[in-house]
Chains A and B, each alone.
Chain A
Amino acid sequence: MDLTTFMQNLANGISVGSLYALIAIGYTMVYGILKLINFAHGDIFMMAAYFAFFGVATFGLPWYFAFIIAIAITALLGVGIEFTAYRPLRGAPKISVLISAIGVSFLLENLAVVLFGGRPKAFPDVKLFTDVIVIGGVSIQRLTFIIPIVTIALLFVLLHLVNNTNVGMAMRAASKDVETARLMGINVNRIISFTFAVGSGLAGVGAMMWCVKYPQIGALMGMMPGLKCFIAAVIGGIGDIKGAVIGGFVLGLTEIMLVGFFPSLTGYRDALAFILLIVILLFKPTGIMGKNLTEKV
């Protein structure tokens, strides 16, 4: 492999990896607080894509306006899902909430098929993002620079939110022990709603970036990204925001490099992600950044 090809693969890998990272953050935040794997995350991502699509294609809004509205509606959707599907199960065993999450996931997918139709739709082109820059034989979309910047910027905003604000302190307290946090006068329900709003909003941001890069949307588009980003979150250490970003980049680069170095293995690209998940769970279940917490009883 010559240098240009390698650099091109590196650019491709960073661009895919930063997308995974962006979506994985939302996964990890919800897990961090509730210890719930929100399997509907990928489908919230899909709904966000449709909101933006309708904003631009049906209502003729300029893309930046449509994106902001779509992200806001997605955040509300996340809160709504938490309110109807997870809150009533607050005291129930974790497995019930997990099953509820899978139910929400199927509900959203099938709802999208009924409401938006089974045929894929073309996402509007945003020229500002998709124009191509050629540097030394390497073709790079502007997006390839924009996505990592957005991801890293959001990472710092979130770290600040969690570590340096009152809401963040309440979030950390709720993640340690919901009952004790409640006794300390924290409105746990409100904190959890807020976490869902942020997590779903992040899925929304991820969806906007994803759709600009891969301008095709469909009712089942959230499944694979959802699973991949879950894997990214586990690789990084689920519950850890920095870990999710690292996991996303690791997964994206590994996938692209596998195809780059072993072209005959391209059909196993998705399988590789799951193999990586199994290996991580076997040898370092807490992930790259994960801390070993003693289980509370």
Chain B
Amino acid sequence: MKRKISLLLVLAMTTSFMLAGCNAKTGAKAYVESDVIKIGVFEPMTGANAAGGELEVEGAKLANKLYPTVLGKKVELVFADNKSDKVEAASAASNLIEQEHVNAIIGSWGSGNSMAAGDIVMEAKVPAVGASCTNPLVTAGNDYYFRVCFIDPFQGTVMAKYAANKLKAKKVALLQEISSDYSVGICKFFSDEFIKLTGDKDSIVAKSNYNTGDQDFTAQLTNIKSKNPDVIFAPGNFTEGAMIIKQARQLGITAPIIGGDTWETPEFLDIGKEAVEGTVFSTFFASETPITSESKTFLDAYRQEYNKEPAAVSALSYDAYLVILDAIKRAGTADPVKIRDEIAKTKNFPGAAGVITIDENNNAVKDAVLKVVKDGKFTYLDTIKPEQN
């Protein structure tokens, strides 16, 4: 008797699981028109990446303020905090889609956070436009994930060229944030290019790792110091980046330390103080060199709204919003699937951080900007075009 009951229970459970599975598969519901169009802002607002997320939230809010309607309907931003955590990111994304029924999503700062939402937006058929997530895997094989920035193979080669040609480096040490898909990816592209440029397989003299949230890097830096590199490439989260540079200087390491776009936050300067003077990193956009007429609109409005100079990622999330709005306009409907098709067709769209053309891999092809920390400010250094590579 008992056996029969348990068998029955098992059967009931498996069927319910299968049914649940079916429901999840057919996740994309038929689109119903409504009076408001909802755009999800999917960003880290707390945790290790919070400063980056907040900068992107600022950009999206500003865009929404300047362009509050499309197709005669009000556009409402719905905020979801992914807490700088890949598990939380997945549930924040499902929440946006299942509870809030958003028509499209902006975000997220941090490639790892974005990748965590990849399958969810693909299955639900809701388009997502990343602002500054640069790892190629974010959009690879995902028809529903786009981005308005360049990708790490380009960024990595830009920095490798800068190290080899401008800094005349022969030996480089890498310090990568092992838990960040962004950092690991860009380090790989950097080292491939650097080895190609120097023609020396052993030109990467040290490769060390750390975890997001680590505070002590003295052991890794002591190793690097004993290898005496000409340049240290340490792309990763901004607070960790600032702490690495600080501790490197305290250990008497004088080699230039260079990084990637994630460093461009006020916290990097606050924590790093004089130690980060002279550090160079690649990013997307510099307010000193406005590119389009939209750049000017954005810069004026941003300065007035927030009373400070914008970071590149704020301009990008602003652009992500505009690209979605433009797609809705062309589609003539807020049906997520139709929005997706129109985003994919985006061509020569004048955004604040440059002209956006979405390529066949859902990425934007754009210039990179080099910035240097000078007198406690991020200052424009150089522009590097993709074709120069």
Name A residues whose Cβ lies closer than 8 Å to a Cβ of B. 1-2, 4-5, 8-9, 12-13, 15-16, 113, 117-122, 125, 130, 132, 134, 139, 141, 210, 214-216, 218-221, 224, 255-260, 263, 266-267, 269-270
- A121 x B219 contact (CB < 8 A): no
B198 at the interface (CB under 8 A from A): no
Q: List 12 A-B contacts (CB under 8 A).
A: A1-B226, A8-B218, A118-B47, A120-B267, A215-B271, A220-B213, A221-B215, A255-B219, A259-B219, A259-B220, A263-B207, A267-B178
Docked pose: A129 CA to B45 CA in angstroms: 33
Query: B325 within 8 Å of A by Cβ?
Result: no
Other-chain residue from B48, B213, B219, B267 in contact with A256 (beta carbon distance below 8 A)? B219
Q: Answer whether A12 and B222 are a contact pair too, CB < 8 Å, given A120-B267, A122-B271, A141-B250.
A: yes
Q: Give A258's nearest chain B residue, CB to CB.
A: B219
- In the complex, whether B362 has a CB less than 8 A from a CB of chain A is no
Are B208 and A139 interface neighbours, CB within 8 A? no
Q: CA separation between A16 and B214, bound complex, in Å?
A: 12
- Chain A residues within an 8 Å CB radius of B192: none
| Binary A-proximity of B250-281 (CB < 8 A = 1, otherwise 0) | 11100000000000000100110100000000
| Closest beta carbon of chain B to A261's beta carbon, Å | 9
Q: Which residues on the A side are within 8 Å of B220 (C-beta)?
A: 259, 263, 266
Binary contact readout B203-229 vs A (1 if CB under 8 angstroms, 0 otherwise): 000111111011110111011011000
Given contacts A260-B219, A267-B209, A267-B211, contact A120 B46 (CB under 8 A): no
Residue B50 is within 8 A (CB to CB) of chain A in the complex: yes
Complex CA distance for A117 and B266, rounded to whole angstroms: 15
Q: A120-B51, A122-B267, A269-B210 are in contact. List 17 more A-B contacts (CB 8 A).
A: A5-B222, A9-B222, A120-B50, A120-B267, A120-B271, A122-B270, A132-B250, A132-B252, A139-B252, A214-B243, A215-B243, A216-B242, A256-B219, A259-B219, A266-B178, A266-B219, A270-B211
Given contacts A119-B54, A255-B219, A267-B209, contact A113 B270 (CB under 8 A): no
Residue B134 at the chain A interface, CB threshold 8 Å: no
CB distance from A225 to the nearest CB of B (A): 8
Given the complex, which residues of A lie within 8 Å of B222, measured CB to CB? 5, 8-9, 12, 260
Q: How far is the CB of B182 from chain A (nearest CB, A)?
A: 15
B252 near A266: Cβ-Cβ < 8 Å: no
Q: Is the CB of A216 within 8 A of B215?
A: yes
Check if B239 is an interface residue, CB within 8 A of chain A. Answer: yes
Shortest A188–chain B CB gap in Å is 38
Chain B positions within 8 Å of A214 at CB level: 215-216, 243
Which of B45, B179, B210, B239 has the largest number of chain A CB atoms within 10 A?
B239
For the complex, what is the distance from the CA of A216 to the CA of B242, rounded to whole Å? 9
In the complex, the 10 A-B pairs of residues with the closest C-beta atoms, listed nearest first: A118-B46, A259-B219, A122-B270, A118-B50, A214-B215, A12-B218, A267-B178, A267-B209, A266-B209, A122-B271
B273: A residues at CB distance < 8 A: 122, 125
Q: Is A119 touching B210 in the complex (CB atoms < 8 A)?
A: no
Q: How far is the CA of A259 from the CA of B217 in the complex (A)?
A: 10
Question: Are B239 and A216 in contact, with the CB atoms below 8 A?
Answer: yes
Determine whether the beta carbon of A259 is less than 8 Å from that of B251.
no
Is A120 a contact of B216 with CB atoms below 8 Å?
A: no
Q: Are A121 and B270 in contact (CB under 8 A)?
A: yes
Contact B209 A216 (CB under 8 A): no
- In the assembly, what is the distance between CA of A121 and CA of B222, in Å? 26
Interchain CA distance A139-B242 in the complex, whole Å: 19
Contact B223 A259 (CB under 8 A): yes
CB distance from A76 to the nearest CB of B (A): 27
Q: Which of A8, A216, A260, A269 contacts B251 (CB 8 A)?
A: A8
Contacts of B45 in A (CB 8 A): 118
Residue of A nearest to B224 (CB): A263
Give CA–CA (A257, B271) in the complex, Å: 27
Chain A contacts of B271 at CB under 8 A? 120, 122, 215-216
User: Cα distance A215–B276 when bound, in Å?
Assistant: 14
Restricting to B97-151, which residues have a CB under 8 Å from any CB of A? none
Q: How distant is the Cα of A221 from the Cα of B212 in the complex, in angstroms?
A: 12
A257 vs B226: C-alpha distance when bound (angstroms) = 15
Q: Min CB distance, B20 to chain A, in Å?
A: 30
Cα distance A120–B252 in the bound complex, in angstroms: 26
